[in-house]
Copies of this chain bind each other. A is one copy, B any other.
Amino acid sequence: MGYTDDDLRHAAVLRDLALRDTEVWKLVEALTTEVGARPAGSAADARAASWAVAACRGLGLANVRAESLPLRIWQRGPASAQLVAPSTRPLVMAALGNSVAAPAGGIEAEIAWYPDLAALKADTSDHEKSRANGRIVFIDQKMERARDGRGYGAAVPARAVGAIEAARRGALALAIRSIGTDRDRIAHTGAMQYDLSVPRIPAFAVSVPDADLIARLNARGEPMRLQFTLESRSGVEATTQNVIAEVPGTDLADEIVLLGAHLDSWDLGQGAIDDGAGVAIVTAAAALLQRAGKRPRRTVRVALFANEENGFDGARAYGDRYGNVVHQLVAESDFGAGRVWQFKSRVQPAAQALADSMAQQLAPLGVAAGGYDGSPGPDAGVLMRRHRWPAAQLSQDGTNYFDVHHTENDTLDKIDPATLPQNVACWALLAWLAAQSPLPFGPPAL
């Protein structure tokens, strides 16, 4: 069983319309200009949800609503860091998300420098013998630039679990080279974890040029001392919201094709590439489906998730609420604004031929067929794994994504307006063909 000629003709219409889309730019321009940074649970996050509801309604989408959920949030306070030996040098830094505050007055100690997380892990965990004991651990983990972002997965454990490994060895605090591919004097934040079995120590990232300086001083063999302050609050009760909007289906309207993105952002930039771009792309794709006039068989649902960055509260709340509803597909646009270069699916074997048809429709957009082991993005991935929902992945070119990811530099100017319509075309095709499928896509092999 394959797609009807009618379905494929409409796919071609959508593709051509999408490549002339102007809504996608207007959406991301408005979100970054009128709201900007929108950490989950903040006043700006609430404004972002109101903005999204109004934008979706304005585009003619149906069943538009914000679904509130409670959560506990982490809030950044003032912070600073400097080398105080061998000489005084200010460092550009950012606390990692979830970091506990330093004691009032901050912490000053010698640096124990490690080239990467593996070197720290290889150090003895006997406090008395570890270099880390009583010092500030510095992890100089470097990140490789790659189109598919694989350098992030390789480097990010230094941020995620570095404080656990450092505390296990008696360290007073953790500092890391920013997990990023840029050379800007701007630090990258991001979520980090603690472990109940070891003390919670403050953790922050310094900019890449500052990490370079520390590495050069370390190479000179002189002891380095670091002083820092770091204020933060954890566990603050707040409210956030998933925003939902739909293109209602016809004979299979009870089944959902989910186009995801996340509405929240880190607090430092404008949330442009992460994930204003994704919000704009999936919203514009749904709006295009709506505008093109042919109603899909299944309901196409845009889900703008809450708090992807620091807890996946939105994805979990969505799963709690809609876990019993049939989902034909879940996918998420959350890798910036680069062109889509690859399509991957994760569907039941009988539906793989339909995924192949989708790939054929995407091919004229410069998208390669990438197999059946797709990862649909962070929130959609949570849902795929928890509910065994079928999924798809539209891989964006992430070569430059980690230059500004989780930084003050994540601003509108980092988005090339020319790459957005191709994204809209891919998402409109994906949504349409998933909605028209003569077969259920699930359950997939996980």
Contact = CB atoms under 8 A, between A and B. Distances in A.
B89 A185 contact: no
A186 B183 contact: no
Interface in A329-368: none
Contacts of A412: 209, 212-213, 216
Nearest to A182: B184
Contacts of A35: 87
B183 A408 contact: no
Contacts of A32: 213
A409 B87 contact: no
A413 to B, nearest CB: 5
B409 A213 contact: no
A367 B111 CA distance: 46
Which residue of A185, A216, A413, A414 has the most chain B CB atoms within 10 A of its CB atom?
A: A185
B185 A407 contact: yes
Contact of A209 (B34, B208, B413): B413
Contacts of A208: 413
Copies in the complex: 2
A11 to B, nearest CB: 35
A47 interface: yes
A34 B216 CA distance: 9
A209 B411 contact: yes
Interface residues of A, number: 32
Contacts of A44: 87
Contacts of A220: 33
A92 interface: yes
A92 B408 contact: yes
A29 B414 CA distance: 31
Contact of A270 (B36, B47, B213, B414): B213
A217 interface: yes
A269 interface: yes
Interface in A371-402: none
A33 B213 contact: yes
Contacts of A36: 87, 89, 213
A413 B212 contact: yes
Contacts of A212: 411-413
A35 to B, nearest CB: 8
Interface in A261-299: 269-270
21 contacts: A32-B213, A33-B213, A34-B87, A35-B87, A92-B408, A183-B414, A184-B184, A184-B186, A185-B186, A185-B269, A185-B409, A185-B411, A186-B186, A209-B270, A209-B409, A209-B413, A212-B412, A212-B413, A213-B270, A213-B411, A216-B412
Given A36-B89, A212-B411, 8 more contacts: A32-B213, A35-B87, A184-B186, A185-B186, A186-B186, A209-B411, A209-B412, A213-B412
Interface of A: 29, 32-36, 44, 47, 86-87, 89, 92, 183-186, 208-209, 212-213, 216-217, 220, 269-270, 407-409, 411-414
Closest 8 CB pairs of A and B: A209-B411, A185-B408, A33-B216, A183-B413, A185-B409, A209-B413, A36-B89, A184-B184
